[in-house]
Each structure stands twice: as C-alpha cells, then as structure tokens.
Amino acid sequence: MPSWIRAVLVVALLYGFLVGVKLLESGVKGLGSETAGGLFDGITNPLAALFVGILATVLVQSSSVTTSTIVGLVATGLLPLETAVPMIMGANIGTSVTNTIVSLAHARENDEFRRAFSAATMHDFFNVMAVAILLPIELMTGFLQRSATWLTDLLPVGADATFDSPIKGAVKWGASQVEHLFEPFIESATAFGITMILVGIAIIFFALAYITKNMKVLIAARIERSVNAALAKSGLVGMAVGVLVTIAVQSSSITTSILVPIVASGMLMIRNAYPITLGANIGTTVTALIAALATGAPDGMTIALVHLLFNVVGILIIYPWGKIRYVPVNLAEKLAGIAVTRKWIAVAYTTIVFIAIPILGILILS
C-alpha cells in the first residue's frame, strides 16, 4: 500500500477513534443516572480500582484502550476522578505485560532469556514502584488530581470555558451518524446506551489497533534509525526516543517490545534500554489526551493529564537519583537470574502479577 494512502487511513482511523470515545460518552449518558450510577458502585476502594485498571489493560493488551475508555467514562461524570486515578495507574502496570510475554519467547537460550526477561520486567518493577510511591501520596494529598485540575483550567477545555473546535463538531457529527444507524432497531434507552458503549469501545479498540499497525509500517525506518542512534546513548536521549516512537505508534507496548529482542541479543545494554522504556511511559499518555479532546469535558482532560503527570512525576522521583534509579533494573535482573534456572517462575510471575492478584484483589476489595 502506498505511504500516502496509509497516512490518509491513519487520519481516518484517528477520526474513528475520536468518534468511538464520543459514542462511549453518549452511550453512558443515555443509560440514565440510575443504571449508569450502579456500574461502578462496587469500585470505591482505590486498590480495587487499581486492580481493575491492571486487569482491563491485560485483557485488551493496550493501556491506550483502557485509558481512553476511562477518559470517556470520567467525561460523562459516571466514573469519579478519585476512582479513575488509581485505574489509570493500574493501566500503566497492566501495559507492561505485553513485553513480558514477548520475553518468554527467548526462553530456549539462557543468557538471551536472562537479558530479555530483565528488559521486560524492569518496566513492571518501575511501574509498580511508581504506583507504590505515588498512590499513597495521591490518596493522602490528591496532588496529582489537583495539579491536573489546575492545568485543565489553563487549557481551552477548562472548567469555565466552552471549547468548540471544528474537530469536536466533526466528531459529534460522526457519532450521531453511528447512533442514527442503530436508533431504528433499539427502542429501550438502556439497551441503546449499552449498545453505544459497546460499539464505542469496539471502535476505540479497532481504530487504535490499526493506527498502531499502520504507523509502525509508515515510520518503521524512522523507528529503526532513532533506536539505532540511541543504542550507545543513555538518559535523556533514550527517553526522548521512547517518547517520540510511542507517540508515533500510539502504543508503549510496541516500543518496549521492540527493545526486548535487541537487549536479548546483547546489542543494547539493559541500562540503556531503561530510559527508552520510561520515555514510552510518557509517550503513551498522548492517546488519553487526544481522547479527552474528543469529549471536550474538563474532567476527561483532567484524568488524561493525571496520566501524564503520574508518569512524569514517577520518573522525576525515581530516575534522577543515583541510589534508587536502577532499583527496578536491579530487581528485574535478580528475578531474571532466578527465572533463568527455573523457567516456570517466569510464567508463574506473569500469571500471578498480571492476572491472579488483580482478580483476587477485585473480588476481595469490591
């Protein structure tokens, strides 16, 4: 397929993604306050919300889908910001399962597996560490939410502003066209709302998957050149490469999964891959920010900014300080050292951390 057609397709998919978020929002609104209000009644515990974020992301294999959905739900007022914040943090942890699974493919060769598994799980450890530090602080002070609210007020979608852009109008028109398609067939408002939520999520999922796929093809050479240039570099250069590549492909999993075989081959040192991975954490927040633009609701923008702030603050707390900077890397290397002799531990770790604990957590805490 010629590049220009692919580029046009990406723009169309991006529009589809925004329409999906709008449909999700209007679907929730259509449910009526009683039905909608009941959906998240059980998830008032922040830890339960965190586990929902992890599990949802593991199931859809994309934090972008989870965070965009959360933005849509927050924009309707259905999901309170207080509950959404830990969910967003959970999405950050859940997204690191993809490269952990990718690393299991290297299990046949011990040294290669040790490097691959370390490269993958350092992302897990960093994200868990960031949540362990920031979630209690957030629960005590609400500083992420308050900072994000303050930032939202500065933007055109701020609390007192009426944000009307041509894009917003076009997205609203697209969403109404989809609604008109279903209206003749569904009479009940509740059923219509649920259908719009499901259609919205399906469109978000489809659009993001194909945006990622097409963007990866479109900019594959640029990804290769920038990763190659960052191989011997560390710190900010790697982080910037991680941010750029992830924004371009709209998926942190793609960025971090590309790193796994390169680290496994020994070409890229795990400590040089580390900042690229952290950059991916920041880059992935752009999807939720785009989704927030579609809703135009201040709370939607606030939760998207919470996602960005959480990742930036997490890096600022952990990365600049020599003593704790490499804690996630060291923990990942220790775990890989154990897993290399007993491979079942790697599988057990992935299953327990990303599936068993979140399910148990949700069951117990809800």
Partner 1 sequence: MVMEFFRGGPSNELEAVEAWIVGMLRDGNDVFTAATDALFGGGKSKATKKEVRETDKGINEAQGDVRRALMIHAAVNSADLPLILQYSSIVKDAERVGDYSKNIYDLVKYGANFEGADDEDGLDDYRDKVSRLILEAADVFEAKDAGGAQRLLGKADVFLDQYDAEVKAAYNSTAGTKNAVARALYFRFLKRTTAHVMNVLTSLVQPLDRLDYYDEAKEDR
Residue (209 or 230) nearer to partner 1, CB: 230
The alpha-carbon radius of gyration of the chain (Å, integer) is: 20
Looking up tokens 């739900």 gives 73
Would you tell me which residues interact with partner 1 (CB under 8 A)?
3, 216, 220-231, 233, 237, 240-241, 244-245, 248, 258-262, 265, 267
Written as six digits, the tokens of 216 are: 């990866």
State in angstroms the smallest separation of the CB of 227 from partner 1: 5
Written as six digits, the tokens of 315 are: 């890096």
State in angstroms the smallest separation of the CB of 118 from partner 1: 16
Q: Are 155 and 301 in contact (CB under 8 A)?
A: yes
| Calpha distance 103→353 (Å, rounded) | 16
Q: What are phi and psi of 344, to 5 degrees?
A: -60, -25
Written as six digits, the tokens of 175 are: 């969403």
State in angstroms the smallest separation of the CB of 120 from partner 1: 13
| Calpha distance 46→34 (Å, rounded) | 22
State in angstroms the smallest separation of the CB of 224 from partner 1: 4
Residue (52 or 276) nearer to partner 1, CB: 276
Residue (23 or 260) nearer to partner 1, CB: 260
State in angstroms the smallest separation of the CB of 98 from partner 1: 14
Residue (51 or 117) nearer to partner 1, CB: 117
Residue 183: exposed, middle, or buried by beta-carbon count in 10 A (0-12, 13-18, 19+)? exposed
Residue (137 or 232) nearer to partner 1, CB: 232
Written as six digits, the tokens of 265 are: 């081959």
Residue (202 or 220) nearer to partner 1, CB: 220
Look at residues 47, 25, 44, 278 and name the one whose alpha carbon lies nearest to residue 171: 25
State in angstroms the smallest separation of the CB of 150 from partner 1: 30
Residue 162 CA neighbour count, 13 Å, CB half = 1
